[in-house]
Amino acid sequence: RYSDYPDAYTSWNIISSIGSTISFIGVLFLIYIIWESMISQRLVIFSNQMSTSIEWFQNYPPAEHSYSELPMLSNF
C-alpha cells in the first residue's frame, strides 16, 4: 500500500527525502568511524586519569557530604 499525497506537497516530500538521505549518510559515517577505531587499535595519547588532579587525592566516597573549607593543595 502506498500513500498518495497531493502534488502541492511535492516540495516537502523532496525536502524530507534529502533530509533522510543526509541522516542515512551520517549513520553510515558513524558506523565506519566505530569500525575503524576498533580495527586500528591505536595507542591512547592522553590519559583521562591524571593523578595530579584534586579528585584523586580525596577518599572515595568523601567522608562528608560537603566541605566547610576547600582542601589544601600542595605539590609533590
What is the structure's pLDDT at 71?
A: 65
Amino acid of residue 62: P
Using a pLDDT cut of 70, give the percent of the chain over it.
Answer: 57
pLDDT at position 5 is 75
Residue 4 has pLDDT above 70, yes or no: yes
As to burial, measured by CB atoms within 10 angstroms (0-12 exposed, 13-18 middle, 19+ buried), residue 11 is exposed
2 in Cβ contact with 13 (< 8 Å)? no
Q: How far apart are CA 52 and CA 47, in angstroms?
A: 12
The pLDDT tens digits of the residues spanning 16-43 come to 999 999 999 999 999 999 999 999 988 8
Dihedrals φ, ψ of 25, to 5°? Answer: -65, -40
pLDDT digits (tens, 9 = 90+) for 49-73: 666 666 666 666 666 655 666 666 6
